[in-house]
Amino acid sequence: MQCTIRSISPVGNYLHLILDAPEVDEVAPGHFAAVAVGGIGGGMLLRRAFSIHKSTPGQTLEIIFAAHGQGTQWLATQSAGDVIDVIAPLGKPFVLPRQPISCVIVAGGYGAAPMELLARELRGRGCRVDVVLGAATQEKLFGVLDLKGVADSVIVTTDDGTSGVRGRVTDVLADVINKNKSQAVYACGPMPMLQAVAKVSQDNGAFSQCAVEESMACGIGVCMTCVLPVIGDDGVTRMSRSCVDGPVFRGDRVRWDDVHTVPSDAFGAPRPGGH
């Protein structure tokens, strides 16, 4: 889908991209968009994946991104009126509760991008929503004000103490869960954060859903690059594709310690003596 850029503007250390996207209908929180980068004669074949920040069905799509490596640096040089190629929405979004339960949203850095949308959905279902946002430093926080406008409470943490509580999101998470009797935790951010969030949630009796970030080549389930070990309903660990089976997984199902490896008990794992 060819999307014209409506605007691209800095927010803290990130860029906020608003795209014309007449072909995109409903987007659920946790869906991602895959953006082609590099333009004419470009040497970058693979799309870049970004959580969808917001969307107006049939009209716009928004993402928040960090100019990081070559592809996102290229994206940062684009301006209003330029046209980029986008596939969206992709992936399995967060699963929303049927009951009006008490929820916590936890996000690190640009992991907050999809969380305003999620908070609105949860509130729309009558859920209580408490938010914990963290980042290394103030400029890398995203969405604090927006989430304050939706959530029942927002706590901010930064590693360097430049905003909110000095420390990590997981330093405050247990308290938030216990204080609000939260039953579900929704998380998006770096993998080590997700691992810690999943553990704290479980330790405190809450169910967690984590949107993981694995390097993806295709984003549509055909290449098998984006896998991580996830335990299925049958108790068997499979190398699951984060692009189509995720990016949202149950926190208690991801084998966090074994990410980037193939656990020896995984389905189809090499056996001693060869395959």
Partner 1 sequence: MSVDLTTSLGSLQLAAPTLTASGCAAAGKELAQFGDVSTLGAVVTKSIMMAPRSGRATPRMAETPSGMLNSIGLQGPGIESFLENDLAWLRANNVTTIVSIAGNNVDEFGELARILAKVEGVDGLEVNISCPNVESRGQVFACNPVSAAQVIETVRSVWHSDAPVLAKLSPDVTDIVEIAHSVVDAGVDGVSMINTLLGMVIDVDQMKPMLGGRTGGLSGPAIRPVAVRAIYQVHAALPHLPILGMGGIRTGHDALEFIAAGASAVSIGTVVFGDPGAPWRIANELGQELQSRGYNSLSEVVGLAHHN
Ligand X SMILES: Cc1cc2nc3c(=O)[nH]c(=O)nc-3n(C[C@H](O)[C@H](O)[C@H](O)COP(=O)(O)OP(=O)(O)OC[C@H]3O[C@@H](n4cnc5c(N)ncnc54)[C@H](O)[C@@H]3O)c2cc1C
CA angle 48, 51, 53 (to 5 degrees): 130
Site stretch for ligand X (CB under 6 A), options 57-65, 98-106, 157-165, 166-174: 57-65
- State the alpha helices, DSSP H only, in 101-183: 115-124, 144-148, 169-180
User: What does the longest C-alpha to C-alpha distance in the chain come to?
Assistant: 59
Q: Is 78 in the site for its own copies (CB under 8 A)?
A: no
- Least Å from the CB of residue 54 to its own copies: 27
Q: Which of its own copies, ligand FES, partner 1, none has residue 77 at its interface (CB below 5 to 8 Å by kind)? A: its own copies
Select from 103, 106, 113, 194 the one that contacts ligand X (CB under 6 A): 113
With CB under 8 A as the rule, give the number of residues binding its own copies.
Answer: 13
Phi, psi of 195 (to 5 degrees): -60, -45
162 within 8 A of 135, measured Cβ to Cβ: no
Q: Is 217 in the site for its own copies (CB under 8 A)?
A: no
Residues that bind partner 1 (CB under 8 A): 36, 43-47, 71, 87, 214-215, 217-228, 238-239, 244, 259-262, 266-270, 274-275
Q: Which of partner 1, ligand FES, ligand X, none has residue 33 at its interface (CB below 5 to 8 Å by kind)? A: none
Nearer to ligand FES, 204 or 225 (CB): 225
Q: Which of residues 55-74 bind its own copies (CB under 8 A)?
A: 70-71, 73-74
- Helix, strand or coil, per DSSP, at residue 235: coil
Spell out the SS3 assignment of 136-147. CCHHHCCCHHHH
- Least Å from the CB of residue 140 to partner 1: 20
Select from 17, 147, 150, 226 the one that contacts ligand FES (CB under 6 A): 226
Q: Is 70 in the site for ligand X (CB under 6 A)?
A: yes
Spell out the SS3 assignment of 178-202. HHHCCCEEEEECCHHHHHHHHHHHH
Task: Write b or e for each residue in 197-221: b if 16 or more Cβ atoms lie within 10 A of its Cβ, otherwise e.
Answer: bbbbbeebebbbbbbbbbebebbee
Select from 1, 5, 6, 39 the one that contacts its own copies (CB under 8 A): 39
Question: What whole-number distance in Å separates Cα of residue 3 and Cα of residue 10?
Answer: 19
Q: Is 269 in the site for ligand FES (CB under 6 A)?
A: no
Select from 15, 216, 231, 266 the one that contacts ligand FES (CB under 6 A): 216
Phi, psi of 176 (to 5 degrees): -60, -45
192 within 8 A of 200, measured Cβ to Cβ: no
Residues that bind its own copies (CB under 8 A): 37-44, 70-71, 73-74, 77
**Which residues contact ligand X by CB under 6 A?**
32, 46, 48-51, 63-66, 68-72, 110, 113, 213-216, 247
